[in-house]
Structure 1
Amino acid sequence: MALYHNSRFSLAKLIAPSCLIALTFLLFPTIGSSETKEIISEGTYNMGDGETPSVAESRALLSAKQIALEQVGTYVESYTKVENFQLTKNEVQVLASGIMEVEILDKKRTLVGDGIHFWVKIKARVNPDKIREMANKIKFKEGTIVDDYKKIQEAYEKSRREIAELKKQLAQTKGKKKKKQVEVKIADDEGIFQANQWLDKGYKHYLANEYNKAIEAFSSAIALNPQYALAYYNRGNVYAAQDQYERAIEDYNRAIEINPKESWAYNNRGVAYSFERQYDKAFEDFNKAIKINPKHFEAYANRGNVFADKRQYDKAFEDFNKAIEINPKECLS
């Protein structure tokens, strides 16, 4: 009895087929062609000392995208309700982000006092015909997909708060040496912001099943922020989706080294070990995932599959039953 292969890897949950009665690929009905929805939005950013123009412009662009995404999310939510797609609000946000295409219409830089004011105008497009396809992908690749999307948005917000505070510090700091120290922190924050952008791009490439581009994006995020556990984790997931289990395990190792409290990294590494037939290591990882998160039903299901592979059926049924007890909706859908 094999663990789920390929598509269940990546940002998705890795769950045993014994826990799933059937997999329906056409989760949602086919809908007719509709007109593309277009939204115009603007974003601004005031660059101060120590910041670079390219990153400042990216922050203005991000602001415009976030404003557009709010409207796109409202549109997608209404559309999915009409079509009875049964998505959660968080899944709607992931869907909206995944299908929104952006075109820069105009941008300007204006000197304001000692800084530069950046203004960006964009057109966001949403093709309704892509909604069903993306909704299917989100349902098929769920698991950590919503949590990872939240982490990306939280990282952006954290960077926004930190750069605002650093700019205040720089304005109030006296002395060349102390100013230089703050400027170094600003440069570090810009690197983290750019890493977040690459992670965001990799995430969208993943949703589009563009695995090679996703790996390139996650690798760029790691180059900018070598301590980015989420980037290693997601790149490992993509390697696993391509059956490159040794590379996947290497990335999971690094992710766990940086953040040893992430149950999904243990679960996914355990699945990779299972495909490599390193069952003892797989058991250890599933046990760790369960210890960190006793409600991690996917880890129970995957551990049950390994028990079944080893013909320890009583233990396998115990784990499958536990997975069903924790989340009967997912396991019996």
Structure 2
Amino acid sequence: MKSVIKVCLGIFLVVAFCSPLVFAESKVVTCQGKYVMGDLDTKKEAKALALMEAKRAALEQAGTYLESSSEVKNYELTKDEISSLASGVMSVEVLKEEWKMSGENLMVTVLIRATVDTSNLKARIAALKDNQESVEELKNIQAQLAALQEELHALKAQRTEEISGKQRETPKREIKEKYVAITNTMTALDHLKSAEAAMANGRLEEALSYYNQALSVDPNMAEAYAGQAIVLKRMGKPHKALKKIDKALELAPSSARAHSIKSLILAESHRYTLALNSINKAIELNPKNPRFYFGRGMINLKSKRPRLALKDFERACRMGAPKACKQAKTLAQRLNTQKNSHQRPIPFRRPPVHK
């Protein structure tokens, strides 16, 4: 019966221990994650799950440290924003991997060093506030990981029931296949989370490496191709970026984000008609995202349609996008200076204040 309990506890016998060190503009913590294998696990899966737990513990420590910072306190960040900020300023290095027996089961311990870079926090927080989409992306990834963790627990419990009181047998094929699929998805999502955080903080080469790792585990992860497209665009490689985003849309044709990213790539290449088609599709799929209206406004502005651009900026402004409000005000003032007797002054329509 003891062996059954050990198998059942496999996914949850993950212990994290962190030791902090503080330097001049950085905080370093060493964290370890432990995972006891069950008969559904391989060494590869066990190592990945232990590493994820160590990184989760390090992220928690980083968030607590940042939350206590006077700079962060001044901005009154939400829990999700602090988590996103911590992900972006933290880099991880694996220091050690150790395997040993724990009772009748094999246990892996992964030791990592996480460095939290606290330089330029004000600029990073300002960028974070201006890009709530990245906060939502991270929140979505974390929610998916939590749901998959529950699925893994259910499979472990199911396996325990099957072998309870019996001699251990080879797991049923369908259970093993599902278990492998879940752990692979978790590993790919963990790489995706690291990639998104690195990209949000301008570490483009690191982000590209994580996106590649995600795709090596799950070749059909549309979000990773979309992320690669953004990185390649920022690297000044629009043709390669376009190929990546087309692959993302092939896998997820209903992704509003992917259509939006494609519009940015096309606009940068001055292909404004195609860019408008893409951003209009994004808006059709998700009409409540102010960033899409702001994006369409920028395309209209670049393609010499200032009045249409103004309407989009004003709409995005009313939806709560501060950058759009500033752009709308500047554009309205510019248009009002035009000395054209056929034009009436164009007022900047400030969004209503909701009390």
Give the TM-score of the pair, scaled to structure 2: 0.72
Paired letter, 1:289: A
2:116 partner amino acid: V
1:270 aligned residue (263, 271, 274): 263
Counterpart secondary structure, 1:45: strand
CA distance in 1, matches of 2:318, 2:100: 60
The DSSP-based 3-state class of the residue aligned with 2:253 is: coil
Aligned-pair distance for 1:236?
A: 1.0
Q: Which of 301, 308, 311 is the aligned partner of 1:308?
A: 301
Identify the match of residue 95 of structure 1 among 70, 85, 88.
Answer: 85
2:141–2:189 contact (8 Å) kept in structure 1: yes
Q: Does 2:316 match 1:323? A: yes
Identify unmatched segments of 5+ residues in structure 2.
1-22, 327-355
The question of whether the paired residues in 1 share the 8 Å contact of 2:207 and 2:231 is answered with yes
CA contact (8 A) 1:41 1:67 kept: yes
Question: 1:1-333 to 2 correspondence within 5 Å?
Answer: 34=24, 36-39=26-29, 41-81=31-71, 84-102=74-92, 108-112=98-102, 114-120=104-110, 124-129=114-119, 131-132=121-122, 134-139=124-129, 142-173=131-162, 179-332=172-325
The Cα offsets for residues 158-215 of structure 1, whole Å up to 9 and x where unpaired, read as 3322322233334445897871332222222332233223223323432442323322
Contact 1:80 1:87 in 2 (8 A): no
* Distance in 1, Cα, partners of 2:47 & 2:312: 51
Q: Contact between 1:215 and 1:238, CA under 8 Å: does it hold in 2?
A: yes
For residues 92 and 305 of structure 2, what CA distance do their matches in structure 1 show?
Answer: 53
8 A Cα contact 1:237 1:268, kept in partner: yes
Unpaired runs of 5+ residues, structure 1, are 1-32
CA offset at residue 321 of structure 1? 2.0
C-alpha displacement of 1:120: 4.5
Residue 235 of structure 1, CA deviation: 0.8
Shift of 1:138: 3.1
Q: CA deviation at 1:218?
A: 0.8
**Change in CA separation of 1:292 and 1:167 when aligned onto 2, cut-off 3 Å:** same
CA contact (8 A) 1:297 1:323 kept: yes
- The answer as to whether partners of 2:198 and 2:206 remain within 8 angstroms in 1 is yes
Q: In 2, distance between residues paired with 1:292 and 1:282?
A: 16
Give the aligned residue type for 2:305.
Answer: Q
Q: Distance in 1 between matches of 2:303 and 2:27?
A: 53
Provide the aligned length of Structure 1 versus Structure 2. 300
Distance (whole Å) between structure 2 residues aligned to residue 269 and residue 217 of structure 1: 21
**Superposition RMSD on alpha carbons, in Å?**
3.1
Residue 312 of structure 1 deviates from its aligned partner by 3.5
Percent identical pairs in the alignment equals: 27
2:88 counterpart letter in structure 1: G
Query: 1:20 corresponds to which residue?
Result: none
Counterparts of 2:273 and 2:72 in 1: how far apart (Å)?
A: 49
Native 8 Å contact 2:71 2:121 kept in 1: no
Question: Could you report, residue by residue, the CA deviation over 1:9-30 in whole angstroms, capped at 9, with x for unpaired residues?
Answer: xxxxxxxxxxxxxxxxxxxxxx
Which range moved further: 234-243 or 51-60?
51-60
CA distance, structure 2, for counterparts of residue 311 and residue 75 of structure 1:
47
TM-score, normalization by structure 1: 0.76
1:99 touches 1:130 (CA, 8 Å); kept in 2?
A: no
Cα shift at 1:225: 0.6
| Alpha-carbon spacing, 1:306–1:104, altered in 2? closer, same or farther (3 Å) | closer
Q: Secondary structure at the match of 2:68?
A: helix
Counterpart of 2:60, as a letter, is E
Amino acid aligned to 2:236: D
Shift of 1:80: 4.3
Distance apart, 1:59 and its partner CA: 1.6
Q: C-alpha separation between the residues in 2 aligned to 1:82 and 1:234?
A: 27
